[in-house]
Structure 1
Amino acid sequence: MAEIKFDIVENLGVLGISAKNWSKEVNVVSWNSRKAKVDIREWDEEHEKMGKGITLNKEELIKLKEILNSIDIEDLDI
């Protein structure tokens, strides 16, 4: 399996810390020297290991923001 190269261009925020002390973060990440995308996933403390995550391009991020702005979080059964 080929090695995945990544560069965390900017940290936008930490959503939480797991029991294993990994942080769920929102970052701008360039994967394999490609154009950076917004990325949400868990990282170990040294940012050497990562969990599964999701990457969003600009259009997807705009749509996600619209969706989140349109919902009433208090009405969600979560």
Structure 2
Amino acid sequence: MIEVTRLDGRIILVNENLIETVESTPDTVVLMANGRKFIVKESLSEIMKRCNERSGVQCEAPLVSTGEMAVQSRISEAMHR
């Protein structure tokens, strides 16, 4: 689980495996798999960083990746199957 801060200052824990999308509209909106939405103070990139840190603890691979990092990760995974 990752820690995020709601706009009213309350800190909540969110299961990063159940996050469907994160939008910056300009507030950061976290949409969960069950349809619940949370508006949080953290930026989109901060949420991504926290998800990757948690994922790394569990499986040593980033949960969220972009660009070249995604390509290299997929190549590496394919080679080790």
Query: What is the TM-score of this pair, normalised by structure 1?
Result: 0.30
Query: What is the TM-score of this pair, normalised by structure 2?
Result: 0.29
Structure ranking higher in helix proportion: 2
Structure ranking higher in strand proportion: 1
